[in-house]
Every structure is written in C-alpha cells, then in structure tokens.
Amino acid sequence: MTRVPDDVVAICERLRAKGKRAWIVGGCVRNVLIDKPVADWDVATDALPQELMKLFPKAIPTGLQHGTVTIVASGHHYELTTLRGESTYTDGRRPDAVHFVDDIAADLARRDFTMNAIAVDPASGALIDPFGGRKDIDAKTVRAVGKAVERFSEDGLRVLRAARFAATLEFELDPETLGAIAPTLDTFRKVSAERVRDEWVKTMKAPQPSRAFEIMRQTGILAITCPELLEGVGMEQNKWHALDVWKHGMACMDACVGDPMLRIAALLHDVGKPRSRAFSDKTQDWTFYDHDKIGAEIAFPIATRLKLSNDERDRVVALVRHHLFHYDAWSDQAVRRWIKRVGPERLQDLYALNEADLRGKGPIFKESDLAALALLKAHVEKVLAEGAALTTRDLAIDGNDLMKVLGLPRGRIIGQVLEALLEVVLADPAQNEREALLARAKEAAAQIQGASGG
C-alpha cells in the first residue's frame, strides 16, 4: 500500500502543534485506497492562508485567494488548502467567492466525486468519508457528490473529469452521474479550451482512453469539442476493415504506445475518411482516396482549437498526413524519398502509429500483418547507416556556397536550388559532392529562373 510521505505527516503535525487541524484529502487519498501511485499530496486545514504563510515561511503563495499555499520539501510539492465551503457558480467555471469554513465535512461536500471526497486524519489514520467514497471505489464507480445535475451545472469541467476518471481508473459512471451529463452540456460549453486539452492529455495516459471518448460521444461532450470525429460513427469501411471508422480510431488510439500527442494523432489519423469516402464501381467497395491529406487539413483546426502548442500541432498534423504507407520491397531511393517526405524526426512516431493502426483493425489483425513494418524499419536503418543525404542540411554545399557561385542574394531561389540538388542526391547519393553540386547548381538556377520568368 502507498505510504503517506513523512513530509506530509510532519506538515500535519506542525499544524496540530499550533492548535490547527489538518487532513489529507482528494485524489491522493483516492489513489492510496486504489493502490495507485500518488503524484501530489493535498492537505486541507482550518488554518487561514495568512497563518499558513506565517507557520511555513518558505511556502509559495500559489493561490492565496483560494486559500492555497505550496510547500516544497525533498523535491516534492505539497499543497495546503484552507477548508472551503460550498460556493455559488454563476459562470459555470469558477466559484463566485471562496469562503473558508472550519468543518472538513463542508469542504468534502464541495468536491466533485465521492471517491475524491474522502479525508484522512493523519494522527489517527481514520477515514472521513461522508459520501460513501470508499464503497464507490470498491465498486469502481464514479459518482457525483450530491445531485449530479446540480454539481455539473456549477462547474462544466466536472463532466469531462468524470469521463477521464472512467478511463484512467477503469471505473464505470454511476447511471445518475452519466445521465446528468447531457442535460448540463450548456455549462460544459463554457469550459476553456486549455482545460479541455489538459483533460484530453490526462485521458491519453489511461490504459484505454477510448473508455473516456465513448462516454464523450454518447453524452454529447464530443459533439461540442470535436464534432469532426463523429462523422465516422457507424461509417462502414471496406473489405480491409472489420470496424467502422470511429471504432477503428478508438482501437488505434488504445493500441498506440506513446505519449499523449502521439495518441491524439492516433485518435485523429483517419479523421479525413468520412469526407473522402467514395464507392468504386470497379471494386464494388468503398474507397478513401486522399484521406490522409484531407485528414491533415481537418486535424490542423482541431489542434488549433484545442490550443496545442505549435510543435504539438505540427507533430499531430504531420502524423495524420503521413500515417498511410505500405512498404513492399521499395528501392533504396524510394526509402530515402519517403524519409525525406515524412521527416527523419518523425520515423519513430510513424512506426508506433502504423503498428497501432494495424493492431486497431480489431479481430482481423494477425501478428504477421506487422511483417512489412519490420522490413521497412530494417531498410530505413540500412539507408540511415549509409549516411545518405535526406535533407538539404545534409548536402555537401550550403546556401552560402550557392549565393557566392550564383551571385544571388539569400532568398527563395537559393532554397529552390537546394531542394533541386537534394532531389539529385536522393536519386544518386554519389552526387553529394561539392564540385558536382556546384556545377549542377547553375543549371538548376537557370531552370528555376526560366520557369518563374525571372
């Protein structure tokens, strides 16, 4: 069983020595009871924020208006929060005012789920569990504290937390709690994109994020945050697939081994399929031409809407764009061109995504389906080991050389000439030689200038 760290016990004892009370509360208690690792420890106390700052002069006033200070000890962060009571929420996001109370039961009553509304008295080890959180944890149930509709109408983030916990803890939502999501979505609409993104990222750390996304789909949460994904629900594919577009996206995400952004790419990898679907009279089956390209165009605004960083967005979009490849005894040149197109830095991501894409085919997947991927990896290794140029940076000359020999200023033409030379070298690595490239540069520049009429 996870132990309460000595630092936490010491903090609580220090408060008791000053006549204050302290409890360990929230997610850390829940995780101790489930025997899951605890990332941060939260302490609730009847000491007021000013008293906390006096008692722990090194504490960081991380949220004084909410009554929170943070203590850093042995490299860990411990949050101390003054007991708070129920509040009114008019904006569906933040309580209108925070009021401090001296009663742990009142503090627990304002928390979201019964499993998160348990306190431990560290002196006696006794659990304070007024809402039956322990029982719900044993039954693996997410249940709102009090009336679910009311609690979800106060704070729109809670419905997404419910879905997330269903996935990360592998719990089920209590029927009343589940049923309260759809009627309270107007409050959910007010949640900021950043907070939605943070929940998505946490969801992606679950063994099966699809548990959360299925709840989001059923309840209407997803129609608000990512309606594009719903276009694939029930959309039959072709003889190569056993699952519909939506279910395959779920299975691919679950099968994807990687960090949250890679899993978001897995979730979105076929988002272009519904808009590219066409029936082929020749094969008498559905086709999805260009779904990778169309998918990347759809993924970009989704990533932007979710407020991913530019790097994260570029990664997700590039993975959607390049997820589709079928290695079949490619030539060295074809392998070099493929690496250049997808970018050497994306190789590991694409391997993981491709494996998940195959495993995500459901019952028709066989381990032998991974053979082509293994061959591609080996071929890429060989090409990389040969040290062939794969980007313009790998060429034996650079932009400065070109500016000198061509008598041109830095700019578009120089970039285009470098690209043209890279094409030559991709076809024949032996051409990656200073003199040979400089000789070709003049030709290439003349062609480019001729073509652009300049």
**Binding region for ligand ATP (CB under 6 A):** 26-27, 42, 111-112, 116-117, 155, 157-158, 202
Of 27, 92, 156, 274, the residue at the interface with Mg ion (CB under 5 A) is 27
Residue 104 interacts with which of ligand ATP, Mg ion, none, CB < 5 to 8 Å by class: none
Q: Does 249 bind Mg ion (CB under 5 A)?
A: no
Residue 210 interacts with which of Mg ion, ligand ATP, none, CB < 5 to 8 Å by class: none
Q: Nearest distance from residue 70's CB to Mg ion, in Å?
A: 13
Per CB under 5 A, which region of 20-28, 30-38, 135-143, 219-227 contacts Mg ion?
Answer: 20-28
Residue 214 interacts with which of Mg ion, ligand ATP, none, CB < 5 to 8 Å by class: none
Q: Does 24 bind Mg ion (CB under 5 A)?
A: no
Amino acid at 183: P
Q: Nearest distance from residue 27's CB to ligand ATP, in Å?
A: 2
Q: Which is nearer to Mg ion, 66 or 305 (CB)?
A: 66
Residue 269 interacts with which of ligand ATP, Mg ion, none, CB < 5 to 8 Å by class: none
Amino acid at 258: G
Q: Does 169 bind Mg ion (CB under 5 A)?
A: no
Q: Nearest distance from residue 31's CB to Mg ion, in Å?
A: 8
Q: Which is nearer to ligand ATP, 5 or 399 (CB)?
A: 5
Size of the site for Mg ion (CB under 5 A): 1
Residue 116 interacts with which of ligand ATP, Mg ion, none, CB < 5 to 8 Å by class: ligand ATP
Q: Does 161 bind Mg ion (CB under 5 A)?
A: no
Q: Does 202 bind Mg ion (CB under 5 A)?
A: no
Q: Nearest distance from residue 331's CB to Mg ion, in Å?
A: 53
Q: Nearest distance from residue 52's CB to ligand ATP, in Å?
A: 18
Residue 323 interacts with which of Mg ion, ligand ATP, none, CB < 5 to 8 Å by class: none
Which single residue brings its beta carbon nearest to ligand ATP?
27
Q: Which two tokens stand for residue 3?
A: 């132990």
Q: Nearest distance from residue 150's CB to ligand ATP, in Å?
A: 12
Pairing of strands 119-120, 68-73: unpaired
Q: Which is nearer to Mg ion, 27 or 232 (CB)?
A: 27
Residue 112 interacts with which of ligand ATP, Mg ion, none, CB < 5 to 8 Å by class: ligand ATP
Binding interface with Mg ion (CB under 5 A): 27
